[in-house]
Each structure stands twice: as C-alpha cells, then as structure tokens.
Chain A
Amino acid sequence: DGGITQSPKYLFRKEGQNVTLSCEQNLNHDAMYWYRQDPGQGLRLIYYSQIVNDFQKGDIAEGYSVSREKKESFPLTVTSAQKNPTAFYLCATGRGDGGTQYFGPGTRLLVL
C-alpha cells in the first residue's frame, strides 16, 4: 500500500526535551519536506531534502534538525532550542521537480 506514514499521531514534549517525529514513504520519491502549521497560518517549510545525505534549511529551521540516511525516511528532531514547538507537523514528498507534493497525515506536538 503506497503512501506516507507519520508517527506518532500525537506527541508530548517536556521542557528541555528533544523529540523526534518520524516520516516514512514508499512512493519512491526523491524529495522529502517538513512543514509546520499553526492556527490561522499557512504551511511553513522547516527543512527539505532532494537526495539522500543532503538537506537544506527552509524558512523556519531554527530549533529543528533532520537527517536523510535513507531515501524512504526523513526524521525531524524538535530540539529544546525551539521555544514554541506546539504545532501540527506535516511531512511531504515529491519528485523534486518543483511540482506536486504529497502529504502525510501529520503529527500534533504538544508541550507539557
């Protein structure tokens, strides 16, 4: 069954804690992306990767880190340096040609 999976669906973070959000795809897409959605705002790009072992900062990368060791996986770590982490996080994939991106179901991160 092709698609994009994100886990967990809900995640709670304590103060000073790093948490990692998972994104896996079996669409064989080269490019993967992480976005953040806040209420009343559009999706803002955190990081993206066009090929394995390479990634670029998006518009709001501060306080986040990523890795791309496999084509299928693009985990996002929300570090303690991210002061306002509460948001809905969306992973997307694409062919890397500036065209359509396809989104996973999202992870909601809440701070305790």
Chain B
Amino acid sequence: DQQVKQNSPSLSVQEGRISILNCDYTNSMFDYFLWYKKYPAEGPTFLISISSIKDKNEDGRFTVFLNKSAKHLSLHIVPSQPGDSAVYFCAASESNFGNEKLTFGTGTRLTIIP
C-alpha cells in the first residue's frame, strides 16, 4: 500500500507565479518529511525538510507546510522559475522510532511555462 501519495502526476505553472505541490501520507508514525527535486537521468537533490514538531519551514523561494491532523504537506515555490521544471518527490521517515528508511511518493512533474 502507498503510504506516501502524490496524487498529481503533473503540474504546469506560469513563470513568476506560485507553484504548489501536494503530498498526503497515511502512516501516523512518520515524523520527518522531505522534498527532493529530480532532473532526468540524475540523482534526486535534497530541497527542504520539516520535522513534525513544526508546521512550516522556509528556505529562500521554498516553503514546506505540514498539517499533521490532515496528514498533508505541501511545497510552495515562489516565484517559480524555468529551472524549477523537474520531478518533485515527497518522502517521509519515522526518525524518532529509529527507523531511518525513507518512503517516497511517486512524484509530480512540474513544468514552468515561460
């Protein structure tokens, strides 16, 4: 069963506007969440993370929001730039329980339209 879900396979956004990527999870033991960006034929690049003790973490143009009651997190990119076009993966772990495995979603392909 898919414990981390990214229900939108693709998203297109105008350059300069806000991109919002969504992720849902079912495992209530997850306490650490990450977003990765991936270009074709390359390894994923870590973008930003958030611990379950927070509901928001910001790093430059990237902000991650966590809603624990809804088991939902989102990544906001503002303003969106052409170089942001990539596949974005959401991942989660049970770090406080000594389980360091990351569980990944299936990814969302973001296309920034110039």
Contact = CB atoms under 8 A, between A and B. Distances in A.
Contacts of A44: 104
B32 interface: yes
Contact of A90 (B4, B43, B101): B43
A43 B105 CA distance: 8
Contacts, number: 66
Contacts of A88: 41
A31 B95 CA distance: 14
Interface in A53-112: 58, 88, 90, 92, 94, 96-106, 108
Given A43-B89, A100-B46, A102-B46, A94 B34 contact: no
Given A42-B89, A42-B106, A90 B44 contact: yes
Interface string B83-108: 00000010101111111111011110
Contacts of B104: 35, 42-44
Contacts of A102: 46
Interface of B: 4, 9, 32, 34, 36, 41-46, 49, 89, 91, 93-102, 104-107
